[in-house]
Structure 1
Amino acid sequence: MPKNIFVIGFDNFNYALLEPIGKKKNYRFHSLLATNEVKRQKHYFPENLLSKAEERLKQFSGSIDAIVGYWDFPTTCLVPFLNKKMGLPGPSLQSVLKCEHKYWSRVEQSQVTQDIPKFCVFNPHDKDVRSKINLAYPFWIKPVKSFASHLGFRIHNDKEFKESIAIIREGIGRFSTPFNYFLNQITRPQSVADINGEFCIAESIISGRQCTLEGYVYHGQVEIYGVIDSIREPNRSTFSRYQYPSHLPQRIQQRMISEAQKVMNHLQYDNAPFNIEFFYEERHDHIWLLEINPRISQSHCDIFRKVDGASHHEVMIDLALGDQPDFPKRKGNFHCAAKFFFRTHHNGVLKQVPGQEQIQRVKKRFPDALINIHVKEGMRPSDLQSQESYSYELGYVCMGADNEHALLDNHRQCLEILKFEFQ
Structure 2
Amino acid sequence: MDKQNIFVVGLNDFNRARLSGLRGAEDYHFHGVIEPAEVYDTEVFPIEDMVKRAGKTLEEFDGSIDAIVGYMDFPVSTMLPLLCDRFGTRTTSLESLLKCEHKYWSRLVQREVIGNYIPRFTAFDPFDDDALAHIGQSGLYFPFFVKPIKSSGSRLGFRIDSPEDFASAIAQLREEIGLISEPFNFILDQADIPPEVRAVDGGFCMAEEIIGGWQCTVEGYVHEGRVNPYGIVDSLRYPRVLSFLCYHYPSRLPENIQTRMCELTTTLMRHIGYDNAAFNVEFFWDEVQNRVWLLEVNTRISQSHCDIFEKVDGVSHQQVTVDLALGQSPDMPHREGKFAVAGKFFYRVFFDDATVTRVPETQELEALTREFPGTVIDVQVEPGQRLSELPEQDSYSFALAYIWMGADSSEQLEENYRQLADRLVFEFSDVVG
TM-score (norm 1): 0.98
Report the 3-state secondary structure (helix = DSSP H, G, I; strand = E; otherwise coil) of the residue aligned with 1:186: coil
Distance 1:249 1:221 in 2: 25
AA aligned to 1:67 is I
Distance 1:115 1:363 in 2: 42
* Alignment match, 1:267: 272
Deviation at 1:25, TM superposition (A): 4.2
Q: 1:418 aligns with which of 401, 408, 424?
A: 424
Q: 1:156 aligns with which of 153, 161, 165?
A: 161
* Alignment match, 1:349: 355
Q: 1:371 aligns with which of 374, 377, 396?
A: 377
CA deviation string 1:210-251 (max 9, x = no partner): 000000001111001100000011124111000000000111
Report the 3-state secondary structure (helix = DSSP H, G, I; strand = E; otherwise coil) of the residue aligned with 1:43: coil
Q: 1:406 aligns with which of 412, 416, 427?
A: 412
Q: Do the aligned partners of residues 127 and 24 (structure 1) sit closer, same or farther apart at CA in structure 2, a change above 3 Å counting?
A: closer
Q: 1:388 aligns with which of 387, 390, 394?
A: 394
Distance 2:103 2:244 in 1: 20
CA deviation string 1:154-192 (max 9, x = no partner): 010011110110000000000000000000111211321
* Alignment match, 2:52: 51
Aligned positions of 1:19-418 closer than 5 A: 19-21=20-22, 24-113=25-114, 114-134=116-136, 135-346=140-351, 347-418=353-424
Deviation at 1:22, TM superposition (A): 7.1
Distance 2:179 2:401 in 1: 23
AA aligned to 1:201 is M
AA aligned to 1:382 is S
Report the 3-state secondary structure (helix = DSSP H, G, I; strand = E; otherwise coil) of the residue aligned with 1:107: helix
Report the 3-state secondary structure (helix = DSSP H, G, I; strand = E; otherwise coil) of the residue aligned with 2:200: coil
Distance 1:274 1:216 in 2: 6
CA deviation string 1:32-88 (max 9, x = no partner): 112112233242112211111111111111111000000110000111110000111
Report the 3-state secondary structure (helix = DSSP H, G, I; strand = E; otherwise coil) of the residue aligned with 2:48: helix
Distance 2:169 2:343 in 1: 32
**Larger deviation: 353-362 or 270-279?**
353-362
Q: Do the aligned partners of residues 58 and 148 (structure 1) sit closer, same or farther apart at CA in structure 2, a change above 3 Å counting?
A: same
Deviation at 1:20, TM superposition (A): 2.0
Report the 3-state secondary structure (helix = DSSP H, G, I; strand = E; otherwise coil) of the residue aligned with 1:203: strand
Distance 2:4 2:415 in 1: 43
Report the 3-state secondary structure (helix = DSSP H, G, I; strand = E; otherwise coil) of the residue aligned with 2:402: strand
Report the 3-state secondary structure (helix = DSSP H, G, I; strand = E; otherwise coil) of the residue aligned with 1:295: coil
Conservation of the 8 A alpha-carbon contact between 2:368 and 2:420: yes
AA aligned to 1:133 is I
AA aligned to 1:206 is I
CA deviation string 1:86-130 (max 9, x = no partner): 111110011111111111100110000120000000000012121
Deviation at 1:407, TM superposition (A): 0.5
Deviation at 1:335, TM superposition (A): 0.2
Deviation at 1:274, TM superposition (A): 0.1
* Alignment match, 2:13: 12
AA aligned to 1:117 is P
Distance 1:26 1:303 in 2: 24
Aligned residue pairs, count: 423
Report the 3-state secondary structure (helix = DSSP H, G, I; strand = E; otherwise coil) of the residue aligned with 2:354: coil
AA aligned to 2:252 is H
Distance 2:375 2:43 in 1: 32
Deviation at 1:326, TM superposition (A): 2.2
AA aligned to 2:342 is A
Conservation of the 8 A alpha-carbon contact between 1:118 and 1:204: yes
**Larger deviation: 14-23 or 161-170?**
14-23
**Larger deviation: 409-418 or 81-90?**
409-418
Distance 2:425 2:135 in 1: 44
**Larger deviation: 7-16 or 23-32?**
23-32
Q: RMSD over aligned Cα, in angstroms?
A: 1.1
Conservation of the 8 A alpha-carbon contact between 1:21 and 1:27: no
Distance 2:354 2:242 in 1: 21
Q: Do the aligned partners of residues 233 and 401 (structure 1) sit closer, same or farther apart at CA in structure 2, a change above 3 Å counting?
A: same
AA aligned to 2:180 is F
CA deviation string 1:284-318 (max 9, x = no partner): 11100000000000000000000000000000000
Conservation of the 8 A alpha-carbon contact between 1:22 and 1:29: no
Conservation of the 8 A alpha-carbon contact between 2:19 and 2:25: no
Conservation of the 8 A alpha-carbon contact between 2:43 and 2:392: no
Deviation at 1:21, TM superposition (A): 2.2
Contiguous gaps of at least 5 residues in structure 2: none
Distance 2:294 2:24 in 1: 38
